[in-house]
Amino acid sequence: MTIPKVELKQVSKAFHGNGTTVQALADVSLRVMEGEFVTVIGPSGSGKSTLFNLIVGLLDPDSGDICLDGDVCANRAGRVGYMPQRDLLLPWRSALDNAIIPLELAGMSRDEAREKARAMLPMFGLEAFADSYPAALSGGMRQRAALLRTILTERDILLLDEPFGALDALTRRDLQDWLLKVWGRFGQTVIFITHDVEEALYLGDRVIVLSARPGRVVKSLTVELDRPRRRGMIAGGAFGRQMAELLEALGVTV
Amino acid sequence: MSDSTEHRTRPPRWLREAFPPALLIVLAILTWHAAAVESGLASFILPTPAQVIAAGWETRAILGQAILTTMIETALGLGIALAFGILIAAAMDLSPFLRRALYPILVASQTVQILAIAPLLIIWFGFGLLPKVIIVVLICFFPLAVSTADGLASSDPDLIALLRSMGASRGQVWRMVRLPSALPAFFSGLRVAVTYSVVGATIGEWVGGSQGLGLYMLRSKNALATDQVFFAMLITSVLSIGLFVLVYLIERLALPWYYSAQRKEQWEETGIF
Ligand SMILES: Nc1ncnc2c1ncn2[C@@H]1O[C@H](COP(=O)(O)OP(=O)(O)OP(=O)(O)O)[C@@H](O)[C@H]1O
Ligand SMILES: [Mg+2]
């Protein structure tokens, strides 16, 4: 049996503050295999972002274990490419210079890093905006710049936290297809958080449903759609049936 | 379309901006002249603008020397205040203990009466450069330290978390996030500091100097050469404004992102710049 790329074993996490305790995650177990695209949905506050902060190593679980590649369980910082919920571009760096941050951190010279990133700009639709500051970019461009930065961490595990959450429906659809193309090319292991059931089904090989706080895994659904995905699939019977299943797991009456 | 036609018919931006203050200054000078002539007051009470300029011109040799001295004191004081201010701000940022210990002392240092402490400094350190430099440091270092500390504290914790998730070291986080995000606040503090610095140096010279603009002012006052006092005041203002503008220009060069197109338009709408 192969080793999972990301494995959570009965992970719980609570936050303490102002005299109250918020149980964010309770007993979450999860295995993501190499090259898999897993989407995670759950109500607001169900601990999705907390899940990522734990995997990245910014937080430590109260109980349970988190392992990457089977054996890296402590000191996880720097092991995965993490794209947080806000794009978090540095306002004082141009789009290009934001994207090269991970390369610079890895010790590459600025010129070399720029050259490498510049070659990838066309794929991200940013070639005309390489030298623009984030304040001058549209929401979709900022997300693409943040995604390029995440890809340039050159990690084979990517955690994407609602990357398209703040975008309008049209831009969002474009970026979904574009993301699938980028993924098809690099083949990383992806965990993708979203609020949107349709997005979760359209993108993922598997959809994990978290319950309202405290977050627990209430469903893990294998998506019955072929790759490559096409927009037309959304109208198909399998899509509708699985969507209903997910909504039910989320507690929405269908 | 409508935008470009509008621009063609209107005078250039710098002219639109320079016109109101220039008009006001000209009006003020004319009023001043009229008041001085019509009131019949003696020129040692209220000289005319022309007399002020003439007095400055006549004493240009000593004035030049005085300006140089004052500028050197100001520059030295600012330099030391910069080093101290940044050091203290960094120390306060690195250690909450130091922050709690230093902050009240910082504030207290600003409540000390410069006019009271200046003579003491003269007694301790003589009539030379040192006591004036110390006064400039005392005045300038507070806005620098406080604004830099606030700037450092303002960096977005999410940005820091993101860099840490990429495996960044503490030093890399400082260089890439903490320092750049502190710069706008630092420059605001610097602008305040430089505008006070020249006045600080002249106070020191006034209280006990052997050279400088402050001494020139004191001597002119004692000789009832009011026109010279006015001229020295003018020079002090010009030096202060010059420093302010210099810092502003450096800031524009150093923080292009902060003054990126979008922001500039917002500023223009408010009519400040
Ligand atoms: N650093 C923290 N300190 C205290 N409480 C926190 C912290 N981070 C998260 N929480 C709490 O944990 C719970 C889960 O938060 P989390 O951000 O993981 O939710 P989420 O599922 O990502 O929500 P959303 O979909 O709105 O982004 C929330 O109730 C939140 O208030
Ligand atoms: Mg979240």
Query: Any residues with CB less than 8 A from the CB of A154 and at least 6 apart, and which?
Result: A81, A102, A106
When pLDDT is averaged across residues A176-201 and rounded to a whole number, the result is 91
Domain assignment present for residue B182? The answer is: yes
Res A122: pLDDT: 87
The answer to whether B92 and B154 are in contact (CB under 8 A) is no
When pLDDT is averaged across residues A65-70 and rounded to a whole number, the result is 89
| Amino acid residing at B177 | V
Q: In the predicted model, is pLDDT for residue A190 greater than 90?
A: yes
The answer to whether B194 and B242 are in contact (CB under 8 A) is no
Domain assignment present for residue B43? The answer is: no
A56 vs B contacts (CB less than 8 Å): 165
Q: Which two tokens stand for residue B32?
A: 């001043």
Nearest CA to ligand 1 atom 14: A47
Which parts of B154-260 fold into alpha helices (H)? Answer: 157-165, 170-173, 179-208, 213-222, 226-254
Domain assignment present for residue B217? The answer is: yes
CB contact under 8 A, B166 and A105: yes
As a dihedral over the C-alpha atoms of residue A1, residue A203, residue A163, residue B166, rounded to 10 degrees, the angle is 20
Query: Any residues with CB less than 8 A from the CB of B94 and at least 6 apart, and which?
Result: none
Give average pLDDT by consecutive 10-residue segment, chain B, 273 residues. Answer: 53 83 93 90 89 91 93 96 94 90 86 86 89 92 92 92 91 94 94 93 89 92 91 93 93 86 56 50
Residue A22's CB: how many other CB atoms inside 10 A?
15
Which residues of A sit within 8 Å Cβ distance of B?
53, 56-58, 77-80, 82, 84, 86, 88, 90-93, 101-102, 104-105, 133, 135-136, 153
Res A101: pLDDT: 96
CB contact under 8 A, A88 and B172: no
Domain assignment present for residue B48? The answer is: no
Site of tokens 């507070």: B142
Res B1: pLDDT: 42
pTM of the model: 0.82
Q: Select the residue of A57, A86, A135 nearest B260 (Cβ to Cβ).
A: A135
In the Cβ-directed half-sphere of B36, how many Cα atoms lie within 13 Å? 19
Nearest CA to ligand 1 atom 5: A15
Res B271: pLDDT: 53
CB contact under 8 A, A58 and B159: no
Residue B256's CB: how many other CB atoms inside 10 A?
11
Q: Which of A92, A93, A157, A160 to mutate to test the interface with B (most CBs of B within 10 A)?
A: A92
Share of chain A above pLDDT 70, in %: 99
CATH number at residue B218: 1.10.3720.10
Res A91: pLDDT: 93
Res A254: pLDDT: 60
Count of domains observed in chain B: 1
Give the C-alpha separation, B267 to A223, whole Å.
52
Residue A81's φ and ψ, nearest 5 degrees, are -90, 120
DSSP class of A236? S
Domain assignment present for residue B152? The answer is: yes
DSSP class of A211? P
Res B2: pLDDT: 45
Res B269: pLDDT: 57
Domain assignment present for residue B7? The answer is: no
Q: Which two tokens stand for residue A243?
A: 């969507």
Domain assignment present for residue B236? The answer is: yes
CB contact under 8 A, A135 and B163: no
- Residue A88 distance to chain B (closest CA, Å): 6
Enclosing domain of residue B97: 60-270
Domain assignment present for residue B6? The answer is: no
Give the C-alpha separation, B271 to B94, whole Å.
39
Res B10: pLDDT: 73
